[in-house]
Structure 1
């Protein structure tokens, strides 16, 4: 397992080891000792997954304090363009974003700390994205930034987007909570 820093402070790409034999593959996606060395959260409270059609965009999501979350994101099936947007006003990368391809073929995970919005575009039908999060979901603190207001080039003309995701505030209208 290798942990690689990104240009956003506290965001890491985790290159997971994959072992294969005649039965298939085995992939390790979590190692508490290694995560602790990098200051990555190891106290996850909830886990869930999405199954998305090709050209679905989900995001840009986050939980407001005190329910803000550290996230570990993994794709066991399919492929996504993962997008992370920095909402931390004190950060040198405030309002900047990065995109990372995550797929079942590269077996990477993405670690996203509190104060960042997260979204993705599904590049294949039946793409499964698994999330480990450090707080339990709280409906009243669920929020987001409008997917098309951050300068992200999603690479698609007619994405499939939920009514909820279309209703979020634009980045320029958002007053940061961090």
Structure 2
């Protein structure tokens, strides 16, 4: 079995155009998850809303984070200017941006999302958002659920397709 670094995975032309999200597990194995068009629509809507509501920071789609269980890729993330000053040019990031967002796909389980939430918090995320298949968003901090985001004022709890 050939092990590849994250940089090698990102540069491999045979993996570049796959219609799957690529991550690694704690043993360095590549894990792929297919994404639906609805997944892409929700991802684009979240990026657009973040762009509208935030005048500072950086919005990142497909944000790779090195965790204790391998490299996880948040569908969307928001990072402060300070975070970007400390982490610009790194891939994957050694720490998680302040907000990590996951959009449930048919191939995802709630247990998988709970694990990713804890992994992002362990790497410094301040909030974790999860968008379900109907566009409802759940907000969390490391101590439990939130009614709304404490970082992005006015972010809606439901998205329409």
Give the TM-score taking structure 1 as reference length: 0.29
Give the TM-score taking structure 2 as reference length: 0.32
Higher helix share: 2
Q: Which has the higher contact order (CA 8 A, sep 6+)?
A: 1
